[in-house]
Amino acid sequence: MIKAMRTAASGMYAQQLNVDTIANNLANVNTAGYKKSKVEFQDVLYQRLRAAGSRSSAGTSVAVGLDVGYGVKPVATQRSFTEGTLSQTGNPLDLSIEGNGFFQIVMPDGTMGYTRDGAFKLSADGQIVTTDGFFVQPNISLPGDSDQVSFSSDGIVSVRVSGDSEPQEVGQIELAKFVNPAGLEAIGHNLFIETSASGAPLLGNPTLEGFGRINQGYLEMSNVEIVDEMVNMIVAQRAYEINSKAIKTAEEMTEIANNLKR
């Protein structure tokens, strides 16, 4: 009887984690470049009370065994890298990627981070940085007197210096892509880092196969769908509830057993 309570408790714990993840998705519904995640569940081990094929008292062999499961466990949170919708901002330093690539960012400790959030800014000395001030790799700096910056869809950065009639090229955006983006680790600040599951980054220029093209003046919005998350939340809440009912029923059955003797 205690076993049924623990089994159902594992269900409550799993649904709690599910709601935690949904809440984080909903909190980031307006975060540019955010990728939603979902919790994956698996059933856990089965206790063998009687094996299938064993002999019954009547001398026949038992067709079905007696395996009782011990509940559920959350095994992973999987991030979905489907593309978010693009939102026009008009800001010349807002970039979005239409495709599978990531911008490369040098973090303050010198290691590489990857992001889909292309809301870039200029540092005091004219370099392209993220909102947190981390440098975009490869480093691109704009001349101080440039007044018009444009990014082509294949990532070539050109500026027009005031007084000049011809724009000049100042750099090239390079993107990274991964065999298994779902294996990337999110570290906050809209950044991901590579892991052994994601594999090493493959580098390439935008518009090359699979890297995607750059859209200037657009930001990629979060790929969280409110309706989906709401439905998931309802399902998680009801699953939580039903597991609590299983615990309550098991508890009442224990009480009934206790009351057998008046």
Partner 1 sequence: MIKGIYDSASGMLPRILKQEIYANNMANVNTPGFKKDDIFLEVLTDAVNGSSDRPWQTRMVDGIYVDFTQGSHQRTNIDTNLALEGDGFFVVNTDQGTRYTRNGNFSVSPDGILIDGKGNPVQSDSGPMNVLGDQIVIGSDGIVSVDGSTLGTIKVVDFDRPYALKKIEGTYFVPGDDAAVEKPAEEFRIRQGYLEKSNVNIVEVMVDMLSSFRAYEAGQKAIQTQDKTLEKAVNDLGRVM
- Region 183-222 residues binding partner 1, contact defined as CB under 8 A: 183, 196-200, 209-210
> Nearer to partner 1 by C-beta: 62 or 93?
62
For residue 240, the minimal CB distance to partner 1 (Å) is 10
> Nearer to partner 1 by C-beta: 33 or 101?
101
For residue 91, the minimal CB distance to partner 1 (Å) is 29
> Nearer to partner 1 by C-beta: 42 or 162?
42
Rg of the chain over Cα atoms, rounded to whole angstroms, equals 27
SS (H, E, C) 39-103: EEEEECCEEEEECCCCECCCCCECCCCEEEECCEEEEEEEECCCCCCEEECCCCCEEEEECCCEE
186 near 168, Cβ under 8 Å?
A: no
3-state secondary structure of 181: helix
134 makes contact with partner 1 (CB under 8 A): no
- For residues 163 to 182, the per-residue mask of contacts with partner 1, x marking binding by CB under 8 A and - elsewhere, is --------------x-xx-x
Give the interface segment with partner 1, choosing from 110-118, 125-133, 153-161, 242-250 (CB under 8 A). Answer: 242-250
> Nearer to partner 1 by C-beta: 33 or 212?
212
Range 46-105, binding partner 1 (CB under 8 A): 46, 50, 52-53, 62-72, 75-76, 78, 80, 82, 99-100
Give the interface segment with partner 1, choosing from 34-42, 104-112, 134-142, 145-153 (CB under 8 A). Answer: 34-42
> Nearer to partner 1 by C-beta: 49 or 124?
49
* Alpha carbon distance 14, 44 (integer Å): 12
**Cβ neighbours of 136 (radius 10 Å):** 21
* Alpha carbon distance 203, 9 (integer Å): 46
Exposed / middle / buried, residue 1 (Cβ in 10 Å: 0-12, 13-18, 19+): exposed
The DSSP code for 182 is G
- Number of residues interacting with partner 1: please give it, by CB under 8 A: 71
